[in-house]
Copies of this chain bind each other. A is one copy, B any other.
Amino acid sequence: MSTVEDFTEEAGLFYERLGLSRTAGRVVGHLLASDDDGADAPELCERLAVAKSSMSVALRQLDQAGMVERFRRRGERRDRYRLTEDVFGRAFRAKMAEFDAFQELAARGLAAVGDDPRRRRRLENMRDMYAFMADRFPALLDEWEASR
């Protein structure tokens, strides 16, 4: 029997492999399995057995990465946190920024190697491939969003 707690831990491991901290990944897992009202910090601390200082850091990371947003219900004194509506679309756009970084790295390599065609060939291929992907990706995302 698979539980929400199990899923939360799996998500923690999954996102840890992708570069988030374990705690941040577990938060994402918990918020994925909760509804759009999200959760507040004390609840997350208690459910995930994490100190509030660690939770503060993890939530700030996720906020700055654009993965969660803070909000506050009218009249309440504490923040709540939920995944951004478009969190996975944002993840894809972040991948596109990575494509741009690859292109830039290839360009730096080309500036460094000079004129030798044997040494330019692979870097040019790298640059062109990532340029191609960066060019095509937005249309793919648009197509997905249109299909919703």
CB within 8 Å for A3 and B112 given contacts A32-B126, A119-B33: yes
A10 within 8 A of B: yes
Interface size range of chain A in the complex: 35 or more
Taking CB atoms and an 8 Å cut-off, the chain A residues in 64-100 that contact chain B are 83, 88-89, 92, 95, 98
**Chain B residue contacts of A144, Cβ below 8 A:** 129, 132-133
How far apart sit A147 and B147, CA to CA, in the bound complex (Å)? 27
**Chain B residue contacts of A121, Cβ below 8 A:** 36
Known: A32-B122, A132-B147. 13 other contacts (CB 8 A): A2-B108, A3-B112, A4-B113, A6-B108, A6-B112, A7-B113, A10-B105, A14-B101, A14-B105, A32-B126, A36-B118, A92-B133, A140-B140
Binding site for B on A (CB under 8 A): 2-4, 6-7, 10-11, 14, 18-19, 29, 32-36, 83, 88-89, 92, 95, 98, 101-102, 105, 108-109, 111-113, 116, 118-119, 121-123, 125-126, 129-130, 132-133, 136, 140, 143-144, 147
